[in-house]
């Protein structure tokens, strides 16, 4: 039996991996930001009516963390108002919703992995807007699902991995922050978890997903350099120096520790996530295959 899902934010990193990993019995109607503004109730209603979707996956978001500090309205529309409008439309039509959120809803002060029930305390506009989006989604009823994740990357779009590859190819040396700790997440693994979650009849509420393991941005950069050279994506070695976040000020404050506790989703789905180094190696292979085919 075929099931129908409306995918919002189909042009982003996660959106494209959701399309790639789509199970064959799901008919997916992909809408990017130009085709569907989730803050517009009329556009949402039209999309739901046209597709006859039983599920909506909301991968649409305002993800520019630093830009959110000055474009507060843009962040609020994309991350708080839009998800609320989407959730309300789904609830009134009996459509289930899976909404993607972020580790930035936490302040990083806890010192142990954050569970889904830990109290959020975002540090910046981006985190605040995403938290309000979660609350709006969960307040509508209709048993929506929320997945929080963090440090997402893929071969699509702009992200830390692709930025590091470019800088390492251009420069002899670069500095990377070592006092912010979390877990990198390949968007493909996250996409697979999303599909598993919406097919699990017992799923309800908030879940956390990332790859396994823990590292700093500096550790992540070292692994990118090592694995990219192994796979022939880099033919030179740049010197990578660890620095404090105090030495690399940004408009938005970031949590120093944003490791997520994934035990709830692991118990539900019956499988763990893969280690971030394994996933990074697989993504770099995917990127290399894409470049070779071009």
Q: Cα–Cα distances in Å, from 265 out to 108, 203, 215, 269? A: 21, 9, 21, 6
Question: Could you write out the DSSP letters of every residue in 247-267?
Answer: GS--SS---SB--B--HHHHH
- How would you classify the pairing of strands 3-8 and 96-102? unpaired
Cross-strand pairs, 85: none
The active-site residue out of 126, 207, 218, 257 is 126
Q: How many CA atoms lie within 13 A of 195 on its CB side?
A: 21
| CA atoms of 48 and 282, how far apart (whole Å) | 35
Please confirm, yes or no, whether 126 is among the known catalytic residues. Answer: yes
Please enumerate, as own/partner, the contacts of 44-53 that have beta carbons within 8 Å and a separation of 24 or more: 44/85, 44/86, 44/89, 45/89, 47/6, 48/6, 48/89, 48/90, 48/93, 48/95, 51/4, 51/6, 52/4, 53/4, 53/5, 53/6, 53/29, 53/95
Range list of H helices, the chain = 13-20, 41-51, 72-76, 82-93, 125-139, 160-170, 187-198, 217-230, 263-269, 276-293
- Residues with a known catalytic role: 126
């Amino acid at each position: 039996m075929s099931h129908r899902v409306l995918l919002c934010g189909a042009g982003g990193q996660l959106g494209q991996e959701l399309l790639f990993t789509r199970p064959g019995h799901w008919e997916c109607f992909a809408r990017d930001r130009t085709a569907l503004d989730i803050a517009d109730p009329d556009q949402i209603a039209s999309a739901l009516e046209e597709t006859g979707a039983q599920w909506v996956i909301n991968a649409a978001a305002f993800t520019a963390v630093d830009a959110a500090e000055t474009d507060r309205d843009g962040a609020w529309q994309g991350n708080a108002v839009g998800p609320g409008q989407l959730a309300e439309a789904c609830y009134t039509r009996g459509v289930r919703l899976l909404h993607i959120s972020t580790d930035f809803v936490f302040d990083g002060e806890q010192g142990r992995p954050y569970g889904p029930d830990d109290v959020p305390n975002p540090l910046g506009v981006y985190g605040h807007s995403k938290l309000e989006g979660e609350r709006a989604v969960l307040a509508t009823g209709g048993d929506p699902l929320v997945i929080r994740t963090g440090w997402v990357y893929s071969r699509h779009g702009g992200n830390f991995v692709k930025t590091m590859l470019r800088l390492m190819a251009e420069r002899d040396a670069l500095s990377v922050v070592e006092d912010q700790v979390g877990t990198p997440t390949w968007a493909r693994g996250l996409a697979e978890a999303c599909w598993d979650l919406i097919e699990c009849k017992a799923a309800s509420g908030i879940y956390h997903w990332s790859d396994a393991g823990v590292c700093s941005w500096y550790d992540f950069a070292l692994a990118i350099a090592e694995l990219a050279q192994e796979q022939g994506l880099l033919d030179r070695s740049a010197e990578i120096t660890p620095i404090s976040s105090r030495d690399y000020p940004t408009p938005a404050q970031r949590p120093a520790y944003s490791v997520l506790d994934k035990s709830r989703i692991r118990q539900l789905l019956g499988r763990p996530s893969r280690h971030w180094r394994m996933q990074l190696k697989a993504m770099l292979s995917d990127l290399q295959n894409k470049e070779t085919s071009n």
